[in-house]
Structure 1
Amino acid sequence: MSFDLIETAKSVFNSSIVSQASSQLGESEGGIQKALTGIIPTVLAGLLNKAGTSGEAGGLLNMVKGVADQANPSAVSNAIQSGSGGLISKGSELLHNLFGDKVSSIIGMLSSYAGIKESSANTLLQSAAPATLGTVGQYAAENNLTPSSFLSFLNTQKDKILSAVPGGFNLAGLLGLGSLGELGSRFGNLVSGVGHSATGAATGAVNSVRTGNTKWIWSLLLILVAIILLWYLMRGCGGSKPDTSTTDSVTTSQLVDSVTTPPAVSTPSARESIQVTLPDGTVLNAYKGGIEDQLVTFLKDDGKKAGKDVWFDFDNLNFKTGSAEITEESMAQVKNIAAILKAFPKAKIKIGGYTDKTGDSTVNLKLSTERAVAVENALKKENANAAQLLGAEGYGSQFAKAAADAPEEQRKLDRHISVSVREK
């Protein structure tokens, strides 16, 4: 099935988001849902227009990749709840980049179309813009798009994007166009021109070889062989040393049980068992170098600072096949983390879910989110202080290092549930 950008973006704004926005903004769920059906294609049409006129495909590519981590329900939920700063400010910046001084007119159109207050339309638009553009960024990152292939990708999506813009929107007039069809044609011609330029350059290179001395042909062949050999050697040896942290969550596309052992050993029983003593005297059974060992060591060290970049991976956590249900034997580690939070009452953590790059990115994101939330809920059931839990978020394959076709030993390192220590 071919990738559908509009449907992928819509999947971020689930029923929970609609319900929360309705309650937070004092609008009907129907009005919120209707506004979102206008926001998503409008933002993407703005991206098409900017990409087709600015000649800054590289800058726009970096822009959407920069908000790839916002393409999830949790980020949108937090933005709606906060109402200002953070993602809202980012959304305002992105919208200004795409539409300039036309943003206020778009807000007015949204308000009239959906039957909601302009203030609500403004909050919703600024909250949804980063997530909508983030879906483009996720696809671009996962498929290693270049500025040229980025434009080609948008060209494959332009018809669905433009047809999804509500009929009541005068978006074409706002952009200075006679019709949205004009935008589609102009963008298509731009991409076609890029393709012809590349083809012409390649043809010129070939003709140069043909008209020159045949020694050049052998030189080029030797260079090509050398490049292929170098690529093969680098692929076989690997690049930088892979992260040796342990993994726990299943890759959502494979729908198999998660890997719970560190890469250096074959079974959990081969690991060294230790006891971790907490400040309140509680003694935990754990593994040397496991999450309990690392987390307690970190929390006891006053010289180490907490922050959004401080993460520890669960190393003995399984889910039932293809679901977000934690297995019974995995609850031992969940209980250990709850005990650690109790012993360090100042500590505050966030739960993150990750997958590898195989399979559908939307499915990966959804299941990684569900599993992160499941761990957070399990901690609450073990009487962890809710004030110490700062939420759960799934990142799908956004931060995966191994390619989709990499060996299993490399890809499994990208599948994990992690704990980020935000305060200590």
Structure 2
Amino acid sequence: MSFNLIDSVRGLLGADLVPKASTQLHEDESRVQRAMSGIVPAVLSGIIQKADSGDAGRVLAMAKDTANSGTFSSLSNFFGNNSLLERGTDLLKGIFGGRMNDVVNLISNFAGIKSSSAASLMSITAPAALGAIGVQATSTNMDERSLVSFLDNQKDTVMHAMPSGLNLAGIMGLSSVGNMAHRHSNVISGVTEQVRGSHNAGRKKSSTWVMPVVVILAALGLVWYFSNLKNNRIERDTTMAAPTEPGRIAASPTAPGTVKVKLPNGVELNAYRNGIEDQLVSFLNDPARKVDNNTWFDFDKLNFETGSSMITPESMPQIRNIAAILKAFPNASIKIGGYTDKTGNEPANLKLSQARADAVVAELRSNGISNAQLAGAEGYGSKYAKAGANASDEQRKMDRRISVSVRKK
């Protein structure tokens, strides 16, 4: 898929939304992060359902109006601005109608934050979601039919992003994914018949069964696909990658390929063969290998929640290993670099890569590493990304990484 709606919305919201919201709303940052993990796909699901239910024209108008007004580009100003929040609330009402309060309460209970905080966060997300759709609709000259098709192409990405435990389907009156697929097939076939009727009034009705059958078959395939997904799947960004620029040394663990990496102080680490621990210790132990600013070692088991700087729990052992290596080499210091792929806008990518690099440095500090051994953190955004924004996620994943550069031995 050449355009990822989830990534676009998260890029518009920015990496600094969560800490800023935490301060302004007086909520715990981790709970705000949990809320946003549900709000973005929930709002987009509401938009998709509204378009699927025969109101594609209204969705298209809302999206284009939001894009043209520039409201979605002022998201950082929403806090403390009642008129902007009211505008966002109006958009939410347009999306969810009478179910808006139910969705707000669902997010509130899911994340453990106040209902008023959930409402504010959703009021900020609604213009970002509609604005992203509006920009895309305008640039590609979408009509109602192409909007429905566009949203359908985004549906599985939105569904995958929905966190486990957020029962939005019950609130939205969707008993199953099959219900959504069936509804979409009706919308597509209905709009298709309207277009055919306006341009081909004299054609025989016997030809009108082709498109509905094709769409229904596609919908059945979609139902089967969703029903076989694991219920607790959480999409994450990964830092594993292959070499992309001179001087970069990508970790390339082999399966099973685990080794014991021995440190000078007698500590042994469990690590991948040729992984970051193995390569970093070899570099520090080898006097012939000189320190420079162009040699970087990639983490191979460091993940973040999608679109955020929150490090996943399973990544902590590798960070603890890097901390152990620094403790065994007390004269060494390192710099952390953060990188993203080319999707989204570059200012947002720079913010996200910086936030992720900072998060790793903060975690190393919490593991007892002093500032003397930490030469800073820098986010490079998509500066060194090789895969295009339209490349597959598998290719783009190689550009999303965190790396270590030794600055002193």
Normalising TM by the smaller chain, what interval?
0.3 to 0.5
* Structure 2 length-normalised TM: 0.47
